[in-house]
Structure 1
Amino acid sequence: MTRFSNDLVCTRFSTTLGDMIATASDKGLVGLWFHDQKHLPEQLSPDLPSPIWPTDDQHPVLQKARQQIREFFAGTRSEFDLPFDLSAGTPFQQSVWQALLGIPKGKTTTYGALARSLGKAQAMRAVGAAVGRNPLSLAVPCHRVLGQDGSLTGYAGGLHRKTALLQLEGALSPALSKN
């Protein structure tokens, strides 16, 4: 289970695919979510009377994250050069998230191939669940993981965003995305 500290700071900003929320600790970027995606931390629940994480638009990691995300959407950045703090995940989740970092821009893999690369061939569902709980959308490229048959499945930010991200990266032609 993913557990986030209450000692984080956050910022909110807009992208071409919707508003995002980024959080950071003193160790690095902890979270990067679309505001309406599945699996948002409870600290970001819209039902809370006030945010648990204070806003800090001047935090250096959050400033750098916003800049790099702008560059990513402009097509001038393929990888993120940020310190990541993945400590909210279990050791297994962290290993899956680290493996996602090895999928280059413009390439995709499947949940099965990812499980095999981790030496956990029989744990495809657990790998899929860890991919789905990735707290660093875009930066840790979970959108590059496809179903066994190459189908677009399971993206917490929505399949419309997964499609757009893969098209932006050149991993999916517009014609294929209509299937």
Structure 2
Amino acid sequence: MLDTPIGPLLLAGTDAGLALVVFHADDRARTRSLARLRGAFGTEPVASIPAVEAAAAELVAYFAGELRDFTVPLDWSLSSGFNERVLRELAARVPYGTVVGYQDLADRVGEPGAARAVGAAMGSNPLPVVVPCHRVVESGGGLGGFGGGLETKRQLLALEGVLPQPLF
């Protein structure tokens, strides 16, 4: 668990890297997420591994405004196919302080017309913040959806200087 300005995050990983970031990690969310991991990996999650410790340190620096690029290794086991292609493109080529449209991201992975599928890929993202699905917005300027809630998306975009900080 990591306390952050956007609420508690559950971080989980494997020897390969960070595998899961869960927003608003209350008891119910933790229980559900840990069950998902047990099912996916067939083992009990380990509380402290290097990837999780590295991710926690990087997230603390990110929220302090001191980190723009995550370098923690990622375990992509919870993503596959189109969703994984979209998420990898997002992680590699949509830098801090920028946004991309759903359709543009679909075009980037060679799937014109797949804007809605990109939205589904964002909803499936097991690594939010680190794989920055908050940077994907509607072409008309709307925020679009967000698994962590629109207020969380606003806070992350404000931290990165894309949106103004709330007045109160």
Q: CA deviation at 1:35?
A: 2.9
The match for 2:22 among 12, 33, 48 is 33
Q: CA deviation at 1:108?
A: 0.4
CA distance in structure 1 between the partners assigned to 2:9 and 2:44 by the alignment: 15
Q: Write the letter of the residue equivalent to 1:106.
A: G
- Equivalent residue for 2:121? 130
Cα distance change, pair 116–82 in 1 and its aligned pair in 2 (3 A): same
* Structure 2 residue 75 is the aligned partner of structure 1 residue 85: yes
Q: CA deviation at 1:122?
A: 1.3
- Equivalent residue for 1:6? none
Alignment check: 8 A CA contact 1:23 1:30 kept: yes
Q: CA deviation at 1:112?
A: 0.7
Q: Write the letter of the residue equivalent to 1:167.
A: A
The match for 2:66 among 69, 76, 95 is 76
Q: CA deviation at 1:172?
A: 1.3
More strand by share: 1
- Equivalent residue for 2:40? none
Q: Could you give the per-residue CA deviations for residues 140-178 of structure 1, whole angstroms, max 9, x where no partner exists?
A: 010000012111111100100100100000111247x9x
Which structure 1 residue ranges, 5 or more long, are not aligned?
Answer: 1-11, 46-51
TM-score, structure 2 length as denominator?
0.85
Q: Write the letter of the residue equivalent to 1:127.
A: V
Alignment check: 8 A CA contact 1:87 1:94 kept: no
Aligned counterparts, 1:154-173, within 5 A: 154-173=145-164
Partner SS, residue 9 of structure 2: strand
CA distance in structure 1 between the partners assigned to 2:33 and 2:136 by the alignment: 27
More helix by share: 2
Q: Could you give the per-residue CA deviations for residues 79-137 of structure 1, whole angstroms, max 9, x where no partner exists?
A: 11111111221221110111111101110011011111111111111111001111111
Q: CA deviation at 1:53?
A: 4.1
* Structure 2 residue 161 is the aligned partner of structure 1 residue 140: no
- Equivalent residue for 1:110? 101
Cα distance change, pair 60–36 in 1 and its aligned pair in 2 (3 A): closer
Aligned counterparts, 1:50-65, within 5 A: 53-57=44-48, 59-65=49-55
- Equivalent residue for 2:39? none
CA distance in structure 2 between the partners assigned to 1:140 and 1:103 by the alignment: 10
CA distance in structure 1 between the partners assigned to 2:77 and 2:53 by the alignment: 21
Alignment check: 8 A CA contact 1:43 1:53 kept: no
Which structure 2 residue ranges, 5 or more long, are not aligned?
Answer: 36-42
TM-score, structure 1 length as denominator?
0.80
CA distance in structure 1 between the partners assigned to 2:30 and 2:124 by the alignment: 9
Q: Write the letter of the residue equivalent to 2:63.
A: F
